[in-house]
Chains A and B, each alone.
Chain A
């Protein structure tokens, strides 16, 4: 009989009879594939939205000249245009604004030289690509603005209508002079973009005489590298000449840690899914061992039996994977908003308007689901083929203990655990510049540890049961003893369910503790640097990096005059280029900071901060920067300023978690002198003793609120909001953890169902000699809880270690050693409770089935 006939006549009949079990097994694969697809799609969509924005915003530009967020003198335009091989060099101002009133939508403002910008970007204000009734008026008036048609429709704005926009100069009224069709730059940021003439943008956003970027196209036939080299030679050191693709790469690098951590979790989902498949196929073997025996007796070869089980797995996992891909699309749609918001909160404005996916990737994820299923099914299928016909026909108990208790598995388990610890030790001993110091190394250590422990679960369950029999079961009476004995009957299968619980709890505990550590460290740091009572910014103080609008430096005087204000500390931050990579430059009034903030030094003392005071070209850098660029206290670094490169002394190494790209601190007066930038992102206000913070904050808003929309946030609320943002950034991880827990729960259900089925006759005997239905249920639920408790204990213990590894690889590598591991003890208690509770819940259905067994039929069961 060929495999198709076997599948049709044997497998199909079996699958029809075991609908519930089939459904659960399918659900496991389905959820695993769905989680993987959803994560792939979400990651790709976020990146694609940035890539599209960059491509639409850059048009035909092949090179971009930039020098950090504060911009650079516009005279550099002539320098770049004069470079041989350059066709067009057009200036760009790219900044954020917010509609004042209505939906208060955040808008990207692109300031371009509209007279020549069409040489680079696909639009023109004077042709059919835009509806601009009077382009001359648009050019002549500095209040002119163009909106995209999509945004105007969303906001109900018409041509010639006035709109109010929050700018550096306060709330400004602009006249909508026209609407852009959804082409070229009008597609940037999901259409939430406004275009202004570059000179109007300079005036409105406090960038007179400066531009943020120069977009460059090359003459036909020119050698790209040579022209790039020539431009690099023509502009001062520290200017960054990059391709638009390079900018996408920078975004990709920025998001890498965020995406890696989600990717790590998605891999774990697949592993747990594999446990489920393993169990499901094992149970199928239990069910059909007699049938297999008959087939073997009739001449079926071992290979045919293996192929039959793998064939079944192939068909069912293909269906489940197909459904999983669809479900993944739904998950992606549901979660994309949360992820985009997290990216906006932490990194930069992300407007994801559509899901980006390729059919190739969806097929790949489906195939991974099928392969993972086949790999998981291969072990029980192989064991099944080894069943002798006689033992199967006589219904002798079947167990995979031979395989899972084999020496090879024990050696593999020990080897993987040892390998994991070896990698960790090597990682800790390696220097900062060692190729071992990557998140890939820590990821491998975590993976080996978890897989190693999984393979060791049969042994662990055995030890656990010894402990249980000795210390606990005597207190639980007969049902307790029975439960322990039952688990002992098929340790291997139960160990697989235990491994699934272990995996999910380990994942949960590690996530919670890694997050708790980052949160605690971030709060300790925030407490040390933000000692103000009120934070004032044009946008929400938390969003100054993503879509904030700076304020003029002169505002400080007006705020100082508000009754009740003790001190006002300006704060300005932005990215600059160092060694071709973006780093965060933060500036503040160092003298004031020294007086009020304890600060956290990683190398050096607080007294070293004196060297940052005005008149000295000194900086301090954070641990991440020091590690990445091999900088120590006493070294010097050259930073690009608009006037050319300037050497700064490194006065110390501080703790700062502002950015994972590396952080540099300097006094704001030094910054203003060197960067000619008098803007401020946030004012930190301290009130006089005894003053009511809310009243002072209200007085500031009353005084300044007429000119601009301001946020005055009490520091306490600021901290609460940071907590919310951190929680949000972990939302996807928690969602996946939940899926993993559900899959693990399915695993227990399947295991218990198999156990009940296998013991049908035994349960019948027990019932016939007087055991009550409730006692039968109690035994099954106790078994389930025991599996859960053992898995929970192992998961909690390994989760603690994996959490530390996760912190090491995903956070400390970028933020420095000061980010210490903080164990959330409550999470351990919750994990144990959850594992026991989940197991009890998972045991309910099998317990119900066991208690409903008909005594007479059970006694006849073979």
Chain B
């Protein structure tokens, strides 16, 4: 099954590039995304601690902290486990991704109060990730680039960083009809992204504080706003490690039930 994914502001693929790539020729959109893809793949093997703050349209604010673990497998396969630590109501709530390829993956969630692991239907990967303005997909790994078409719209500077402006259009039906991404030329991470439903802008994200960790460019701050609902989510990475090489049994449903312990 073709399972889409876009990871634009991904916690896992919080963008990145090991080396600055200087382009001596005009790049195509696909070439730009090959670079982005390469950085994301490298970032898959990781552990991170982050704080997510949700703002509702009335000004209400809800904070939560989480820990995420990732591991790459053979070919395009990878696994991700995310566990919430705070607030107490959400402690040990977690979710697990098993991707057999960049196009095919399974998702499960665990809720301690019910002591149940629940499967999340794969078709809802564009849905909001539990009330945040990020989608399940944003928490996944790199996407299958063959599922999209790319077009360079121009070049602009964002946050003092020169960027390619690329229009990405999914070939299969998604919640959005296209998105426009501002990809930093030297880092191959998103600095800004705008999702459109036809001509209407419905989601917009900004990324900043890009640091190089273990050679991987990582934006430590990100914000995504849903223009339709007025909701906004800030994400701040507090700590990140790459090349962690966690064992496979960290990414099982049993481990999900034990909050990765």
| Contact yes or no, A199 B114, CB < 8 A | yes
What band does the interface of chain A fall in when counting residues whose beta carbon is under 8 Å from B? 20 to 34
Nearest B-chain residue to A137, judged by Cβ? B89
| Contact yes or no, A140 B116, CB < 8 A | no
Q: Mark B73-108, 1 if CB is under 8 A from A, else 0.
A: 000000000001000011001000000000000000
A761 to B95, alpha carbons, bound, how many Å? 101
- Indicate if B113 sits at the interface (CB-CB under 8 A): yes
Q: How near does chain A come to B145, taking the closest CB pair, in angstroms?
A: 26
- Indicate if B124 sits at the interface (CB-CB under 8 A): yes
| Contact yes or no, B127 A124, CB < 8 A | yes
Q: Which of A172-224 contact B (CB under 8 A)?
A: 199-200, 203
| Contact yes or no, B113 A136, CB < 8 A | no
A134 to B111, alpha carbons, bound, how many Å? 15
| Contact yes or no, B228 A128, CB < 8 A | yes
Nearest A-chain residue to B123, judged by Cβ? A119
| Contact yes or no, B131 A137, CB < 8 A | yes
Q: How near does chain A come to B259, taking the closest CB pair, in angstroms?
A: 13
Q: How near does chain B come to A86, taking the closest CB pair, in angstroms?
A: 14
- Indicate if B38 sits at the interface (CB-CB under 8 A): no
* Set B54, B60, B89: member contacting A140, Cβ < 8 A: B89
Residue from A124, A139, A140, A203 having most chain B Cβ neighbours under 10 A: A140
Q: A116-B121, A116-B124, A128-B229 are in contact. Are A134 and B131 (CB under 8 A)?
A: yes
Q: Return chain B residues, CB-CB under 8 Å to A133.
A: 54, 56, 60, 62, 131
Q: Return chain A residues, CB-CB under 8 Å to B228.
A: 128
| Contact yes or no, A142 B93, CB < 8 A | no
A116 to B119, alpha carbons, bound, how many Å? 9
Q: Return chain A residues, CB-CB under 8 Å to B114.
A: 142, 199-200, 203
A116 to B62, alpha carbons, bound, how many Å? 25
Nearest A-chain residue to B118, judged by Cβ? A115
- Indicate if A659 sits at the interface (CB-CB under 8 A): no
Q: Return chain B residues, CB-CB under 8 Å to A199.
A: 111, 114, 116
Q: Mark A130-152, 1 if CB is under 8 A from B, else 0.
A: 00111111111110000000000
Q: Return chain B residues, CB-CB under 8 Å to A119.
A: 121, 123
Q: Return chain A residues, CB-CB under 8 Å to B109.
A: 115, 139
Residue from A134, A136, A140 having most chain B Cβ neighbours under 10 A: A136
Q: Return chain B residues, CB-CB under 8 Å to A116.
A: 120-121, 124
Q: How near does chain A come to B165, taking the closest CB pair, in angstroms?
A: 27
A127 to B229, alpha carbons, bound, how many Å? 8
Q: Return chain B residues, CB-CB under 8 Å to A115.
A: 109, 118-121, 124
Q: Which of A104-133 contact B (CB under 8 A)?
A: 113, 115-116, 118-119, 124, 126-128, 132-133
Q: Return chain B residues, CB-CB under 8 Å to A113.
A: 118
- Indicate if B128 sits at the interface (CB-CB under 8 A): yes
| Contact yes or no, A134 B127, CB < 8 A | no
Q: A115-B118, A199-B114 are in contact. Are A136 and B93 (CB under 8 A)?
A: yes
* Set B62, B113, B123: member contacting A142, Cβ < 8 A: B113
A141 to B130, alpha carbons, bound, how many Å? 13
Q: Return chain A residues, CB-CB under 8 Å to B123.
A: 119
A206 to B87, alpha carbons, bound, how many Å? 29
A199 to B111, alpha carbons, bound, how many Å? 10
Q: Return chain A residues, CB-CB under 8 Å to B60.
A: 133
Q: Return chain B residues, CB-CB under 8 Å to A126.
A: 124, 127-128, 130-131
A119 to B113, alpha carbons, bound, how many Å? 25
* Set B112, B113, B119, B128: member contacting A135, Cβ < 8 A: B128
What band does the interface of chain B fall in when counting residues whose beta carbon is under 8 Å from A? 20 to 34
Q: Return chain B residues, CB-CB under 8 Å to A134.
A: 54, 62, 130-131
Q: How near does chain A come to B30, taking the closest CB pair, in angstroms?
A: 30
Nearest A-chain residue to B226, judged by Cβ? A128
Q: A140-B89, A140-B90, A141-B89 are in contact. Are A127 and B118 (CB under 8 A)?
A: no
| Contact yes or no, A135 B130, CB < 8 A | yes
Nearest A-chain residue to B130, judged by Cβ? A136
| Contact yes or no, A140 B229, CB < 8 A | no
Q: Return chain B residues, CB-CB under 8 Å to A127.
A: 127-128
Q: How near does chain A come to B113, taking the closest CB pair, in angstroms?
A: 5
Q: Return chain A residues, CB-CB under 8 Å to B89.
A: 137, 140-141
Q: How near does chain B come to A738, taking the closest CB pair, in angstroms?
A: 54
A452 to B223, alpha carbons, bound, how many Å? 84
A862 to B124, alpha carbons, bound, how many Å? 91
Nearest B-chain residue to A115, judged by Cβ? B120
Q: Which of B220-235 contact A (CB under 8 A)?
A: 226, 228-229
A134 to B127, alpha carbons, bound, how many Å? 14
A136 to B118, alpha carbons, bound, how many Å? 13
Nearest B-chain residue to A113, judged by Cβ? B118
Q: Return chain A residues, CB-CB under 8 Å to B119.
A: 115
Q: Return chain A residues, CB-CB under 8 Å to B130.
A: 126, 134-136, 139
| Contact yes or no, B131 A132, CB < 8 A | yes
Q: Return chain B residues, CB-CB under 8 Å to A203.
A: 114
A199 to B110, alpha carbons, bound, how many Å? 12
Q: How near does chain A come to B204, taking the closest CB pair, in angstroms?
A: 15
| Contact yes or no, B120 A137, CB < 8 A | no
Q: How near does chain A come to B40, taking the closest CB pair, in angstroms?
A: 24
Q: Return chain B residues, CB-CB under 8 Å to A142.
A: 113-114
A200 to B111, alpha carbons, bound, how many Å? 11
Q: How near does chain B come to A202, taking the closest CB pair, in angstroms?
A: 9
A126 to B228, alpha carbons, bound, how many Å? 13
| Contact yes or no, B111 A118, CB < 8 A | no
Nearest B-chain residue to A199, judged by Cβ? B114
Nearest A-chain residue to B228, judged by Cβ? A128
Given A132-B131, A133-B56, A141-B113, output 5 extra A-B contacts at Cβ < 8 Å. Answer: A127-B127, A134-B130, A136-B130, A140-B93, A199-B116
The 8 A-B residue pairs whose C-beta atoms are closest, nearest first, are A136-B130, A135-B131, A126-B128, A199-B114, A116-B121, A126-B127, A133-B56, A134-B131
Interface of B toward A, CB cutoff 8 Å? 54, 56, 60, 62, 64, 84, 89-90, 93, 109, 111-114, 116, 118-121, 123-124, 127-128, 130-131, 226, 228-229
A-B contact pairs, 18 of them (CB 8 A): A115-B109, A116-B120, A116-B121, A116-B124, A119-B121, A119-B123, A126-B127, A126-B128, A128-B226, A133-B56, A133-B62, A134-B131, A137-B90, A137-B131, A138-B131, A140-B89, A199-B111, A199-B114
Interface of A toward B, CB cutoff 8 Å? 113, 115-116, 118-119, 124, 126-128, 132-142, 199-200, 203
